[in-house]
A and B are shown apart, each in its own frame.
Chain A
Amino acid sequence: MANQYQFTDEELIARFQKGDEQAYVELVNRYRDRLMNFAYRFVNDDEQAEDIVQDTLLKLYTHRHYYRNIAKFSTWIYTIAGNLAKTELRKRKRHKVTNLSQMGREEREYELPSVEAESGQIVHEQYAEKQIQQAIQTLPLHFRTVIILRDIQELSYEEISNIVDVPLGTVKSRINRARLQLQKALKDFR
């Protein structure tokens, strides 16, 4: 990362904390798609994912002085995004429960998502992506977070441990169990 850019993330946030708004724009450009990918894999909805990324980066703007140079910037920003994504899912869950309870049985059955691919319309890769995405949604939140950070965002175990604030050994064990659970969910889909 340091080789790719002129300034490291930590240097940019330091400049932004001193009032350099251009440094903020640079951080936004570096992280908006990474965070979008993370949020989308987490909540499985484009609009909500983009709202989460907007809120995360706005928080970076308004709470810039809360960052202390004791942690990596990426750890800090992923922690914010992760917390916002979890909040969004909890809100959605409450909303969903209300909606389902107001529906009739037939409506409920109709609303449940289908994972079957329409043959001939979707190419194999897209189908595989859709299946993986839906299998991820079956995982409990603590498994979902770590597997996205590890296998999609490709962060190190140490970074993930800092983001989710649990010991390294627990992170490793959660990733392993999440993978096995994901593998089982995909088998069940087929």
Chain B
Amino acid sequence: MDRYQFEDLISDYIEGKLPVAKRQEFEKYLESNPRAQSQVTELRQLISSMHSLPVKKTSADFTTRLMQRAAVARIENHTGVNQEKRWPLIGGFTPAYAGMLATLLVAVVVVSLQFLPEKQAPAQFQPVIAEEIATPQPEASSLNQEGDLAQIEAAEQDSAETAKELPDHDGLYQEHITLTGD
């Protein structure tokens, strides 16, 4: 047992609350340590002195003054003066607490939403439009600024012809499903 352990157990020893084994260990420490012995003796005396301190008493008119104040409080209670405003309870809580709890709840929900993984949009099948396949859109750079109408018309005509050779939209759609398994 060291000094710290001794000090931790000193009150329990004085009050006779140490288990037998601990008490024997404590007394062994005391035997070999006269300073600890005198500390125990002094503490015992201190506790005893505190038990026997004179009891402070209230003054003689204490109860009279108290009853006067109680009478005033009773009158104020009847007339509603100084009466605390009582708020109705919401779910067992005062409105202030209920408000705080509600705010806290909203804050928790908002914060937890930030941590949810983003929902990935389901892969959507975009039916390939025949015109898009058939007609490579002319690049903006390929069109000269004057707008060669003749060239554009020719391109449109070509694409219309090519479209006739390709299956219809539904056919393409079915084909795509079969291929991708979607």
Contact = CB atoms under 8 A, between A and B. Distances in A.
Interface residues of A, number: 36
A175 B14 CA distance: 13
Interface of A is mostly: helix
B11 A179 contact: yes
7 contacts: A25-B63, A32-B63, A33-B57, A61-B70, A128-B49, A132-B53, A152-B51
Interface string A142-162: 000001000110100000000
Interface residues of B, number: 30
Given A57-B66, A172-B11, A176-B11, A33 B55 contact: yes
Contacts of B49: 128, 132
B10 A176 contact: yes
A128 B50 CA distance: 10
Interface in B53-98: 53-59, 62-63, 65-67, 69-70, 73-74, 77
Interface in A9-62: 24-25, 28-29, 32-33, 36-37, 40-41, 46, 49-50, 53-54, 57-58, 61-62
B55 to A, nearest CB: 5
B63 to A, nearest CB: 6
User: Which 3 residue pairs are nearest across A and B when measured between Cβ atoms?
Assistant: A151-B50, A176-B11, A40-B56
Given A129-B53, A129-B54, A132-B53, A176 B73 contact: no
A53 B57 CA distance: 11
B46 A183 contact: yes
Contact of B65 (A54, A173, A175, A179): A54
Interface of B: 7-8, 10-12, 39, 42-43, 46-47, 49-51, 53-59, 62-63, 65-67, 69-70, 73-74, 77
B11 A46 contact: no
Contacts of B66: 28, 54, 57-58
Contacts of A58: 66, 69-70, 73
A182 interface: yes
